[in-house]
Amino acid sequence: MADGLSGRLRALLDDERAALRDGALERLGDILAAKEGLAEELAQSGLGCAEGEAEALRDAARRNAQLLEAARAGLRAAMERMAERARLARSHDTYDAEGNRRALSPAPGSLHRRL
């Protein structure tokens, strides 16, 4: 049974890696649920595999953690870029002769008309 658990863990880590590499982030929720279930089984019976296999599993988990962090950072950067683009679409900035940015918005309380 222990070989089955370590094999299932290896397959799950491989699936997670493939999902991260393919950008299939929607699959990560199901993978997380499977990992949680497997973690409960492992807590009850232990992994029970050779040290070399355990080290390979730790390496795979570390590698996936790095991919998860990279995916999170990429999503954060994309969200920041989208927010910046939205801000730029709403603003009307220009630069003066000295290179200082100036907003071209109407003064508060003034009537702003579109042509």
For the cut 90, the answer to whether the pLDDT of residue 30 exceeds it is yes
Which residues have C-beta within 8 Å of that of residue 25, sequence separation ≥ 6?
Answer: 19, 71
How much is the pLDDT for 113?
Answer: 57
For the cut 50, the answer to whether the pLDDT of residue 1 exceeds it is no
Rounded Cα gap, residues 85 and 25, in angstroms: 24
What does the pLDDT look like over 45-82, one tens digit per residue?
Answer: 876 777 888 889 899 999 999 999 999 999 999 999 99
The structure tokens listed for 19 are: 């999902």
Residue appearing with tokens 């997380």: 32
pTM comes to: 0.67
The domain locations on the chain are: 2-89
What does the pLDDT look like over 75-113, one tens digit per residue?
Answer: 999 999 999 988 877 777 788 899 998 877 666 666 555
